[in-house]
Structure 1
Amino acid sequence: MLLLGPLLFFYVRGTLNDTSILKKSDAFHFIPAVIHLIGIVPYSLQSFATKTQIASRIIQNVDTILDINTNYFYSTTVNFIIRPVLLLVYILYCMYLIWKRFAAKNVDQNIPKKQLLISFRWLIILIMSLFFIVFEFLIITFNSVQQKPSVGLVNTYPLYILSGAAYCIMSFSLLLFPNILYGFPKRVVVKKETVKKQKPSSESHTKTVEVHEDDPFFELSESIQAYLQKERPYLNADFSISDIALAMHVPQNHVAYCINSLMQTKFATLKSDLRIDYAVELLSGNLNESFTIEGIAKQSGFKTRASFYGAFKEKIGMTPTEYIAEQHK
């Protein structure tokens, strides 16, 4: 619980700054959790029988939980209060960071505006949902301490329902804004000599890129397409988006942005289409006579015959067997 605030802060800051690197000063945020960890060491070293007795007392009468001290430094009441209060402080500070970032008049032109707007909406939903949940949890905690846990928990039952609704909204928003997982991608400097040698990989994957030449990630998207065309890493059955990121020496979220926003496709679709294009090359040549369908499927990067057949028919409109028959005709 004491780590929720720091982790939220690191996520929001990393999303705003497009980095996941921690600073030395960030160790300060772990101090409350470390203090708490040290404080519960004596309780943790007690026998299992003693802990079972404590659990039995709480089950029989939940009000006794305030009288059971499991931390060496402070009481259970302080323990219950400090958790939502500390998290609420971090949430308010994250609100300030978001406001400061988007209230600035000079917007970074190296950040695509569409992605900026999507990420902003997601951060607002995330922070407001968490604020609502933590504020309700603080009310429940206050009522339980001021009265009795048994009374406070029962009287605040509607708040549990509202908290559940807030959790659902926060989770459902991931479906509405899937691009938030990419953060705020910024310009990546690509060597000019590398860009000059690049050529469009295929009309199916580059026809939409020309519209986005003013996008700061246009050069990176061209580099990705050139890499896919030249190296053909998709022929590896375990090919993933992280392989492109490693080859380009850029963060994975930058690659994901280029594929989704500039190339306007999904990585799974792009990978499947490239493999089918390669399979068509094999089937159109003489290799279809020396390779079985399973062999061509594996050569193209598919793990199973079924997945190959399904992808092939979806893109070409016929099965590999029917395609071979058409070629013979």
Structure 2
Amino acid sequence: MILYISLFSIITSAIIAIYNWRINRNALLLTGIFVIFSTYGLTHYFTVYYQDPFWTAIFYGNFSPYWYLPGPLLYLYTRNTLTDKPVFSSWKDTFHLLPFVIQVINMAPYIFSSFDYKLGIARLINADINNVRTLGAGFLISPGISFVTRPSLIIIYACASIFLLIKYRQKERKNLTSNKQNKLVYNWLLTLILVTLFVAANFLALTIKLYVAPVNKVVLESVLAYNISGIAYAILPLALIVFFPKILYGIPIATFAVKAKKTNLVAVGDPLTETAKVIEAYIQKEKPYLYPDFALEDIEEALDIPKHHITYCFAYILNKKFTAYRSWIRVEHAKELLKGGSADSLSIDGIGSQSGFPSRSSFYATFKAETGMTPSQFLENLA
């Protein structure tokens, strides 16, 4: 079961990264947390249950430096989401990677050793799981210290993340009450942190048991705990994809408020309502949709608004995803050209080109999807 849970979590996490990293790169931090926990599950499965020397040699020891990253990634993801900062917004953030770097140095002799050497270690571990206490260790830090410090570091960072949530709640209590997006993301962060804290505390308790009981006995007793932890970390990314995709847009923070005031637009309800109106006003005035390669990046560059804010504004304030809005406004422009008599001097295909459609087929298909008729039929109805 651990194998399938871990693989499923990796797949769903990859989907999150592929479809969201261009919009909100903090999604990469979230994906990193899920994937790293999954590699721990795979290592546990191949080392303890499957007991195949080949797979044990691949997983055992080689991934241990990465197990020092979930804590820092959780903290950075929480902080960046609450403050709307980008990934590693300051050079000081690299200090959070020090435990990972130290473990890379510690494990370097083993990681870069020959595969035959690792196979020998794997066979000894498969023969007696208690050998994990001494075999495949780094040259600076003993396995026992590594076993304890990994979950301990996650617990420390999880507690620091809870502290960030408490400060945010005290400061933004009004927004948490009035804005659904803020409340949704806040509750998501709290759930993620508490689940992570539960899993890390469980692992730490099991690790402490290793000092007073044989490894195989502790492993046997930990089956339920590993399964519960794995299921929790498989459900979280799945829930994001299927039920709560809005979480990935983060907490809307109106950093664009200074420019927005120039338009005399009044924000109502959502903190980014004003920003959404500024975006819409820009599109209506500058007509960037008339260019076939018009994309989110053009709005981001023109208005200096974070891309995940733009995506959020389209999806949840303007109530159309960007691609749907772009198609709609291009069709509206084509309809105005047809109504204005442009068909007297331009072909139907020319009107599609003048409206920003990249091809004849996309013009006809989109126009019919929006209006229920082809451009030619629309023109005939005008006569």
Report the Cα distance in structure 2 between the residues aligned to 1:303 and 1:142, rounded to whole angstroms: 63
Q: Please report how far the alpha carbon of residue 139 of structure 1 lies from its aligned counterpart in structure 2 after TM superposition.
A: 3.9
In structure 2, the residue matched to 1:186 is 253
Compared CA separation, residues 62 and 304, structure 1 to 2 (3 A): farther
In structure 2, the residue matched to 1:125 is 191
Instruction: Give percent identity, aligned residues only.
Output: 34
1:14-93 alignment runs, 5 A limit: 14-20=80-86, 22-93=89-160
Gaps of 5+ in 2: 1-66
TM-score normalized with structure 1 length: 0.80
Q: Please report how far the alpha carbon of residue 87 of structure 1 lies from its aligned counterpart in structure 2 after TM superposition.
A: 0.8
Q: Please report how far the alpha carbon of residue 243 of structure 1 lies from its aligned counterpart in structure 2 after TM superposition.
A: 2.4
Q: Is the 8 A contact 1:312 1:320 kept in 2?
A: yes
More moved, 175-184 vs 32-41: 175-184
Q: Please report how far the alpha carbon of residue 2 of structure 1 lies from its aligned counterpart in structure 2 after TM superposition.
A: 0.9
Compared CA separation, residues 238 and 151, structure 1 to 2 (3 A): farther
Q: Is the 8 A contact 1:40 1:70 kept in 2?
A: yes
Q: Please report how far the alpha carbon of residue 321 of structure 1 lies from its aligned counterpart in structure 2 after TM superposition.
A: 4.6
Greater RCO between the two (CA within 8 Å, min separation 6)?
A: 2
In structure 1, the residue matched to 2:7 is none
Report the Cα distance in structure 1 between the residues aligned to 2:76 and 2:197, rounded to whole angstroms: 17
Where does structure 1 differ by over 6 angstroms across 4 or more consecutive aligned residues?
108-112
In structure 2, the residue matched to 1:270 is 325
Compared CA separation, residues 318 and 288, structure 1 to 2 (3 A): farther
In structure 1, the residue matched to 2:29 is none
1:239-278 alignment runs, 5 A limit: 239-278=294-333
Report the Cα distance in structure 1 between the residues aligned to 2:131 and 2:346, rounded to whole angstroms: 78
Query: Is residue 288 of structure 2 the alignment partner of residue 222 of structure 1?
Result: no
Compared CA separation, residues 314 and 153, structure 1 to 2 (3 A): farther
In structure 2, the residue matched to 1:158 is 224
Aligned residue type for 2:197 = F
Report the Cα distance in structure 1 between the residues aligned to 2:139 and 2:289, rounded to whole angstroms: 56
In structure 1, the residue matched to 2:161 is 94
Q: Please report how far the alpha carbon of residue 302 of structure 1 lies from its aligned counterpart in structure 2 after TM superposition.
A: 4.7
In structure 2, the residue matched to 1:167 is 233
In structure 1, the residue matched to 2:60 is none
In structure 1, the residue matched to 2:6 is none
RMSD: 3.3
Count of equivalent residues: 313
**Aligned mate of 1:234, from 289, 292, 298:** 289
Gaps of 5+ in 1: 199-209
Compared CA separation, residues 79 and 214, structure 1 to 2 (3 A): closer
Q: Please report how far the alpha carbon of residue 179 of structure 1 lies from its aligned counterpart in structure 2 after TM superposition.
A: 2.4
Aligned residue type for 2:295 = S
State the secondary structure of the residue aligned to 1:46.
coil
Q: Please report how far the alpha carbon of residue 18 of structure 1 lies from its aligned counterpart in structure 2 after TM superposition.
A: 1.8
Q: Is the 8 A contact 2:292 2:358 kept in 1?
A: yes
